[in-house]
Amino acid sequence: MNNSSILNDKQIAYLATTGKMIIPFEEKLNTSGIISYGLSSYGYDIRLSNHDFRIIGGNHKDEIDPKRFDDNCVFNIELTSNYYWLPAHSYALGVSVESFNIPANTIAIALGKSTYARCGILINVTPLEPEWTGHLTIEIANLTNFPCKIYANEGIAQLLFFQGEQCNTTYADRNGKYQNQPRSVVLPKVI
């Protein structure tokens, strides 16, 4: 039995360039006056796209049901210059600039960037399972009493990649409901 291990920058770069695991792929961490994105020592910092950003709320209902999600629960927020305004105590959905093709023996876990965490912004992205493909829908919560700027085309979360012995059933094998996500927010669904 093989043990799982976290991938380093050399391994991530190899998979990104030969297996198209990350498109577009930035070979180094971009840090000049921005919230960093690109390849780091043991991960990859992804960017928030400027194509789609939606706030959950403003609905006529008093509840949200993930099994019967009402599209009227969300509304689009327009890009202001190079950022979105996330109101206090609100929750938004965005999408990654990058698309992903996760290998069959790999899983990725996302963590929020410390720059946003220190401002009271919580980033949540569910795992990128073996053979999952597409753009990530990114969940963003403002836990503060103040509106916060969320910058487009800059870092939003870091992905950590782990490899191990290939699983019996990949996300593609079971026809996962969030497979091949487009470069737009994908709302909750139950099939």
How far is 74 from 141, CA to CA, in rounded Å? 14
How far is 143 from 171, CA to CA, in rounded Å? 32
Q: From residue 95, how far is each of 42, 45, 50, 77, 123 by CA, in Å?
A: 22, 14, 8, 13, 12
Residue in 26, 139, 154, 165 annotated catalytic: 139
Q: Can 139 be counted among the known catalytic residues?
A: yes
- The residues assigned a catalytic role are 139
